[in-house]
Amino acid sequence: MLIPVIMAGGAGSRLWPLSRQLNPKQFLPLADSDLSMLQATIKRLDGLGAALPRLICNEQHRFLAAEQLRVLGMEQANILLEPVGRNTAPAIALAALQASSEADDPVLLVLAADHLIQDAAAFQASIQTALPLAEAGKLVTFGIVPTHPETGYGYIEQGAAVGEGGFAVSRFVEKPDLATARDYLACGNYFWNSGMFMFRASRYLQELECFRPDILAACRQALAGGSQDQYFTRVDETAFAACPDDSIDYAVMEKTADAVMVPLDAGWSDIGSWSALWDVSAKDAVGNVFKGDVLDQSSRNTYVHADSRLVATVGVEDLVIVETKDAVLVAHKDHVQDVKKVVERLKGGARNEHINHREVYRPWGVYDSIDNGHRYQVKRITVKPGAKLSVQMHHHRAEHWIVVSGTAQVTNGDKSYLVTENQSTYIPIGQVHSLENPGVIPLELIEVQSGSYLGEDDIVRFADKYGRT
C-alpha cells in the first residue's frame, strides 16, 4: 500500500502579506491555479492508486485543512495535528507510527504541501521509479534536476546506479555559494534537495531507532497519549513538546547507508519568495504578471497582486506589488528575501498583520472585520448552510446582528427564534447566545459589537460542535 504523507506546516513568511501565520501559503491558490497549494499537491496524485493522504499540520490550521479536503471529497482523510512544531523528523515519525498500526508495513510517500510541480506526468513517472526501490528497503529521496546555479537550496551528489533509475547518495551538501553552485551545475551529478521522500514505514522507524532513538521514543509517547476526534488525530502536547527538534535530513538521510536518489525533472519550485512566484507565472509580452484589478501603463517585469481594489502602475520595472484589505507590499524583486524581516518587525511591534487577514476563516464560515474604532467593531459574517457558531457569552461586549441574506436561527438567553432578511436582533452583555444557519443558502449578516473590550479572547464557550474549548 502506498500512503501519501503531506506535510502542511510552516508559515511562508516570505510571501507576506498574502501568506500569514493563520493562513499560510500552502492553503492559498498560487501560480495560476484556483486550487490551493495543498489541494494541487493532492490532485497531483490522481491515477497513482494511492490510499487517502495523511495530512500533518499545525493545530491552529485544522479547520482550514479539513475544509480544503472536504472540497476535494476527501472528508475521511486523516489529519494529524501538531500542537507545536518539531521539524520534519518527528512529524514523519508520527505518520509512520500511525500508518504502521493500521496497515501492513505501507510505503510512505512524503510530500510538502507548498511545492509547485508543473509536469504531473513526469512527477508520477519518478514515483513509479522510486516505488520498487522503497519496497526493497531503500530510503528514497527525489533530486531535482537543476536549471541554474541556485544558492538557496541544498544539493545531493549522485553516486553509483541502484536498480532501475535510482542512484546511491554520495553525500548531501549544504546551500553553496554562487561559485560552488556554478561548479555543481557544470558537473552534472548534483541535484537540488527537494525534501520529498519514499520509504517503508518500518525502514524509517528502524533508522530513526538507530540514529535518533530519543525522537522515536518521544513520538511513541505522544501518539500513545493522544486522542482521535473524528478525522483529527491529536497527540499528547507535553510529550511532543519534549521531543527534540530535527529534520529528516540530519536525523536519518545523511546517516543511513540505504539512501537512494531518484532524479525528478518536472518543473519543480518551492515558491519560496515573490520572485520565485513571478518566475513560474504566465507573463505578458514585457514580463508582467498581473492578478486582480490592475491597470498598467508602461511597466516591465513586474508582479502585481490586487486583492480588493484597483492597483495602477506607471513606468515601474522589476517590482513586486501585493495589495490586500489591510496591507500593501512594494518591493524590488532583488530584495524580496527581506520580506521575512518585515514580518519579524511586525511580530516585535505588537501588531497583528502577520497573524491573520482582515478576513478570518472559521469552521462555520468566515468573518470580515470591516470597521473598528473606540468601543465598537463592525464585522460582515457568512455562515455556511447547516453550520452553527458555539453557544457562548461575552463579559465585555454586546452584539447587534442585522441579517443581509438568508435566515438565522438565534438562541438569545432562554428564547429561540428566526431572524430573516432586513431584520435584526440584540444580544446584551453577559447573555448566553448562539447563531445557526438552518437554510440551504449562506447566511450573511452584519454584526456591530460595542463595549469596553472587543478582543476575540472574550468568548466563554458552553457548547461547540467543532470541539473548540
How long a stretch of residues is the chain? 469
Strand locations in 307-396, DSSP E?
Answer: 311-314, 319-323, 328-332, 359-362, 365-373, 376-383, 391-393
Residue listed under C-alpha cell 447547516:
386
Say if residues 256 and 248 touch (Cβ distance below 8 Å): no
pLDDT at 32: 73
Query: What is the domain partition of the chain in residue ranges?
Result: 2-269, 274-344, 359-463
Q: Which of 300, 312, 263 is nearest to 143 (CA)?
A: 263
Average pLDDT, consecutive stretches of 10 residues, N- to C-terminus, the chain (469 residues): 94 92 93 89 95 94 91 93 94 96 93 95 97 97 94 94 94 93 93 96 97 97 91 93 95 96 95 93 96 97 97 98 96 95 92 89 91 94 96 97 97 97 97 97 97 92 84
pLDDT at 230: 78
Indicate the DSSP class of residue 51.
P
Say if residues 49 and 4 touch (Cβ distance below 8 Å): no
Q: Which of 416, 451, 409 is nearest to 430 (CA)?
A: 451
Our separate counts of H helices and E strands in the chain read: 11, 30
User: 14 phi and psi, to 5 degrees?
Assistant: -75, -10
pLDDT at 467: 78
pLDDT at 65: 93
pLDDT at 439: 96
pLDDT at 146: 94
**pTM listed for this prediction:** 0.89
Determine if the peptide bond prior to 17 is cis (ω within 30°): yes
The superfamily in CATH containing domain 2-269 is: Spore Coat Polysaccharide Biosynthesis Protein SpsA; Chain A (3.90.550.10)
Classify domain 359-463 at the CATH topology level.
Jelly Rolls (2.60.120)
The DSSP secondary structure of 38-55, one letter per residue, reads: HHHHHHTTTTS-PPPPEE
Please state, as a whole number, how many other Cβ atoms lie within 10 Å of the Cβ of residue 277: 26
pLDDT at 360: 86
pLDDT at 245: 95
pLDDT at 97: 96
CA distance 71 to 63: 12
